Amino acid sequence: MKKIKIKIGILSLQFFALSTLVITSAFGAIIAAFPGTSITQIQLIATIPNITIILVSLIAGPLMVKFPKKVLALVALGFISIGGLTPIIFHNTIMQLLVCASILGIGLGLAGPLVLTLSSMYFSGEERAGVMGMIAATTQIGRMVLVTLGGFLGATYWHRSYYVFFITIIAFIFVLLFLPMDSAQKTSKVDIVNKGENKPRGSVLTVLSGYLICVILVSFASRLLFTTYNTNLAIVISDKEFGGTTVAGLVGGLGTLGGIMTGLTIKYSRKIFKDKVLAVGFLIFGLAALMAVYAPNPAVMVLAGILTTVGTSYMFSTMPFLVSLLVNPQEIPIAMSLFNFFASFGSLLAPIIMNGMGIGVGIPSFTFAGILALSVGAFLIIVNLGARIQGKKEKKDLTNTNMKAT
């Protein structure tokens, strides 16, 4: 029962991971309400939180070492609620909305590494992998509920979309009641010899390794693919003349269901694909993106949308699990902070990278995403990354067991 409560607390915090998308359903009304404001500036309301998410992710690790994680989780929800609810009152200028969006990003930037760290703290082995799958599913559930409900609430007055953030009160109560109060880690120096120098355990220098850097680069690629897909989906549907926002909404909605089911059943998928789950995720995503490019009708487009979220669920649930295997328990906060920091850069830099490479929006972007995903998937199979990391973990556990025995 205790572990169930902990899961509820963790998932309550994760529920708001994609809450920056809430206001996107009201962009048309906001554009009409601020006729003298450029569309680009209005779009910043949804994108500017990514900047504060990146900045806060970088310091989240040290904060988790110094302060109890339950307290930080409540603080994160506090920032999310302030950033989400304040626009109900203050919404007369775009600047007010941008400031609130930045505050929202602070909460999300702290929540992301916290969720991954708490999952690694309280769960281990296949149970941890299952929790990571539940986190991926909750991300999709939160997105569906928040965006849909936000669109419904803002149908008459666009600023009422922000009412959806009252759900943070429920999440705050769940975290307060169900997450145990942990003690802050005491920072100390241990004899970790590296070229004759002693380094503090849990620092960036002791956490980084070749395998971890590889996982971080893969996570960067996954976020780039995810962002490219979401920002170009409606354009691809329009280019192929399959319909407008209705078809795009259908593809996105049914795709979300695919991601939810995949996240909830990840432990069964791991039994089938074993250490190849991450590679399979990239391969499925790549095939789905190319399927969308060559889709002859909306039905195939919907199938491609479902497969895309299946692939991303495999990716997003497996990568933090691998990170947790690579470091010591006391180093997990720093490692998850680094992981979230560089992964967030993938989302932020996606349009910049695509433009810099001269890749057009719509079908060209989907084609590039498909080829990149297949390439990463093939690379992961060739280098056998999953098996190497799990083998490294098993070897470390065996060594620790032998040391204790002696």
Same structural domain for residues 306 and 366? yes
Same structural domain for residues 305 and 279? yes
Query: Which residue, 181, 214, 229, sits at the end of a domain?
Result: 181
pLDDT for 203: 52
Q: In this structure, is residue 405 part of a structural domain?
A: yes
- CATH number, domain at 254? 1.20.1250.20
Listed in sequence order, the DSSP H helices in 48-192 are 49-66, 69-85, 94-122, 125-153, 167-178
Query: Distance (Å, rounded) from C-alpha 77 to C-alpha 82?
Result: 9
Same structural domain for residues 332 and 365? yes
Contacts of 241 (CB under 8 A, 6+ apart): none
* Residues counted in the chain: 406
Residue with tokens 């083998």: 391
C-alpha of 341 from chain center: 11
To the nearest 10°, report the CA torsion of 302, 313, 3, 108.
Answer: -100
Same structural domain for residues 91 and 173? yes
Same structural domain for residues 159 and 273? no
Binned average pLDDT, 10 residues per bin, the chain of 406 residues: 90 92 78 82 83 89 91 97 95 93 95 93 89 91 87 85 95 95 57 40 60 92 89 83 72 83 89 92 96 92 92 93 87 86 84 87 92 96 90 63 54
Q: In this structure, is residue 258 part of a structural domain?
A: yes
Concatenating the DSSP letter of every residue in 185-229 gives PPP-B----BTTB--BTTSHHHH--HHHHHHHHHHHHHHHHHHHH
Same structural domain for residues 162 and 206? no
Same structural domain for residues 162 and 113? yes
Query: Which residue, 181, 213, 233, sits at the end of a domain?
Result: 181
Q: In this structure, is residue 192 part of a structural domain?
A: no
pLDDT for 21: 81
Q: Which domain holds residue 364?
A: 199-406
Number of domains composing the chain: 2
Same structural domain for residues 215 and 344? yes
pLDDT for 244: 65
Same structural domain for residues 151 and 41? yes
pLDDT for 185: 58
Query: Which residue, 120, 155, 181, sits at the end of a domain?
Result: 181
Q: Is the separation of the CB atoms in 219 and 343 below 8 Å?
A: yes
Q: In this structure, is residue 268 part of a structural domain?
A: yes
